[in-house]
Amino acid sequence: MAKTQNAASPVTAYVALGANLGDRAANLHRALELLEQSPGIEVIRASTFIENPAVGGPANSPAFLNGAAEISTTLRPRTLLDRLLEIEKKLGRVRSEKWSPRTIDLDLLLYGSQIIDEPGLTVPHPLMHERRFVLEPLSEIVPNVVHPIFNRTITDLLKSL
């Protein structure tokens, strides 16, 4: 259940999870627990975790474990993003160079069917349609959700890769 009313009514949002440092599975499970414990957020379901090679970043980066979660939230998009960043920090994420190895990575993929483009917040996530490691776990839990810009389902986007 939503714990705090910050928005008019709950919105369904989707979050990508990834980790390639430390106990990757434990980090992903802990991130889901912290999301669930957050006022205004209810984790509806999460995908299984899938191992993927690191994309971008330094050569020889460790493989990632990736997943996706469906949440119901009363938080507004910016507040939700801020909460994701707080959870990353709590779990030891250090932002040094782009795409460097990390204990946790939480990305806001979709927020209802909204299209948001403001400094520091772009929804839908601008690269999600290009990333198998995002689309695979997302299609496991919500294959028929429609990307609001491309007007194609997650499964269709995955098949086109």
| pLDDT averaged over every residue in the chain | 91
Name the nearest CA neighbour of 156 among 144, 148, 138: 144
Whether 156 is catalytic is no
54 versus 69: the higher-pLDDT residue is 69
Residue 105 in contact with residue 27, Cβ under 8 Å? no
Catalytic annotation present for 78: no
pLDDT tens-digit map of 19-36: 999 999 999 999 999 999
Name the amino acid, one letter, at 134: V
Catalytic residue from among 24, 83, 107, 131: 107
- For domain 11-126, give its CATH number from 3.30.70.560, 3.40.50.300, 3.40.640.10, 2.160.10.10: 3.30.70.560
pTM given for the model: 0.91
What is the average per-residue pLDDT within 38-62?
Answer: 91
Burial annotation 137-157 (CB, 10 A radius, 16+ → b, else e): bbbbbbeebebeeeeebbbbb
Is residue 23 part of the annotated active site? The answer reads no
Active site residue 102: yes
